[in-house]
Chain A
Amino acid sequence: MSVFIATYLPNVVKFWDIIEKAIYETIYMVGVSLFFSSLIGIPLGVLLVITSRNHLLPLPAVNQLLGLVVNIFRSIPYIVLVILLIPFARALIGTSIGPEAAIISLVVGSAPFIARLVETAIREVNRGVIEAAQSMGATNWQIIRKILIPEAMPAIVSGITVTAVGLIGYSAMAGVVGAGGLGAVAFNYGFNGFKPDIMFVTTVFMIILVQGVQMIGDAIARKMDHR
């Protein structure tokens, strides 16, 4: 095994420290941005549903405005978003490079995506169940907390899983702003540094990450689904 690695993946051994650090950076970037984009995206998704016509809190103007904002951010290509947000990142955290700067653009890019997935998930909740809660005297807030979100949870988890997989890909692009991570190593060392074995190995790690995230997400969604 070690002979095999030394022969075919010489640079992997030599640059292992960098690769290892990159794995952690990717996990860190994806994890933190997933957390914040869910924090923004889930309430946004709930709002998109309840402010629509014939729902809990019909506010057509708010609904259209939210929809527009979400669509704008979803239509900007991520690579453009990264650059557009450089001044914003600098203002917010004092720097426009490094994982934290990348996290800002990752959150801005994926929160609207989560919002749409959450919206779809919550729209699927049976109207009858909402009505039953209303007949018990539930407030809108109780309906959101006790009915809409728990009933939509498996679909929300699936949506977050899809987003996490997407974030792994985007985090590689974020290498452009010096965010580090597996994508940056693959590009800087593997591609620009003519070390195909590094490119190969970092890609394998990305595949493993994606596979792992998908498996965990599916398992959680399945465990929550009692239908």
Chain B
Amino acid sequence: MITLSNVVKTFTSRFGSFTALNGIDLTIQKGEIFGIIGYSGAGKSTLVRMINMLETPTSGEVTVGDTKLNQLSSRELRRARRKIGMVFQHFNLLWSRTVAENVALPMEIAGVPKREHAARVMELLDLVGLSEKADAYPAQLSGGQKQRVGIARALANQPDVLLCDEATSALDPKTTDSILELLKEINRKLGLTIVLITHEMHVIEKICDRVAVMESGRIIEMGDVVEVFSHPKTTTTRELISQVAGSEQPEQEFLEGLNQGAVLRCTFLGEAANQTVISKLVTELGVEVNILQGQIKRLKDIAFGTLYIQVPGDVEVEAKTVAYLKKQGIKVDVLRGAEGGGRS
């Protein structure tokens, strides 16, 4: 649906040049919710603005659908943009227009006949749950309501893609969740591809199918959210994940201070997270289990958890336990072998 190949963006000013994007290759599938996360300055905002050419690439190609955006004339680009909705951090509504008039703006711009506006506006406001605010002005709305108007407006011309530029970053946690729910619902109902950028891992885990982690203008890690969450490869990713999880590994010193016995990290995914694995482990295998630390959280539609356990006993006990857990579909990493000492 969306392809960026070898995209580079360099900003040049009197004070020198700055490379915001340094060779981005990215493919986003039709109908998925794709998240881009990174700290500020990582280049994620530039990246998302490239998908509708609010920023033009210094080199490289941007394709949306079958259209190479960077080769279009400005007239063709305007036409293409109608099919790419965008939602902004600060909503960017016109305060001189009512909610309904704001939502109708993209239709006016696209030249949709006036008589068709009212019905479509009501349909959209209904979708975002703001029907009764049609005649209010943005200044009379709360932040969450303003963003709902922003979303309704972005959907007015039935786009194929919805870009969200830090759409929830100006909202409180509760409102953020309700907006995320709305985005998820829209994605399901309309089958629309959503690309969102954020610096909050919470947003990613809540609604995204896949995620790309950005740092210094590059994508340093990319994959299914579950995969990235369960096996972060870079320090930045681990840091970002720790925003939402208390799931950092226990301190090495803490592990060393424990009595003998294997220390295991068990990663539960999907079904496995819903089963009574640990109690079965105790009853069926007769091993003792000391739970050190753990948690289970819900990603978009899948449960995901990590549990750190200590299993007192020798190497045999360890092997037996690991084998049993693996059979249950749990991923096991041995942090410390049964005979004590470092990681195996």
Contact = CB atoms under 8 A, between A and B. Distances in A.
Interface of A: 126, 128-129, 131-139, 142, 146-147, 150-151, 153, 224, 226-227
A226 B90 contact: no
B110 A137 contact: yes
Contacts, number: 66
Given A135-B86, A226-B139, A150 B109 contact: no
Interface string B79-105: 111101110101011111100000001
A227 B140 CA distance: 9
Contacts of A146: 105, 108-109
A137 B109 CA distance: 7
B238 to A, nearest CB: 33
A142 B92 contact: no
A151 B108 CA distance: 16
B138 to A, nearest CB: 8
Interface in B137-163: 137-139, 153, 157, 163
B221 to A, nearest CB: 28
A151 B88 contact: no
B96 A226 contact: yes
A131 B54 contact: yes
A126 B92 contact: yes
B105 A151 contact: no
Given A135-B81, A137-B78, A137-B109, A129 B94 contact: yes
B50 to A, nearest CB: 12
Interface in B108-140: 108-110, 137-139
A133 B137 CA distance: 18
Given A126-B92, A226-B137, A226-B139, A137 B86 contact: no
Contacts of A135: 52, 54, 81, 84-86, 163
B106 interface: yes
B92 A138 contact: no
A151 B102 CA distance: 12
A91 to B, nearest CB: 42
Nearest to B90: A128
A6 B214 CA distance: 87
B109 A142 contact: yes
Contacts of B93: 129, 132
A134 B53 CA distance: 10
B88 A132 contact: yes
B95 A227 contact: yes
A1 to B, nearest CB: 47
Given A134-B54, A135-B52, A147-B94, A128 B88 contact: yes
B92 A129 contact: yes
Contacts of B78: 137-139
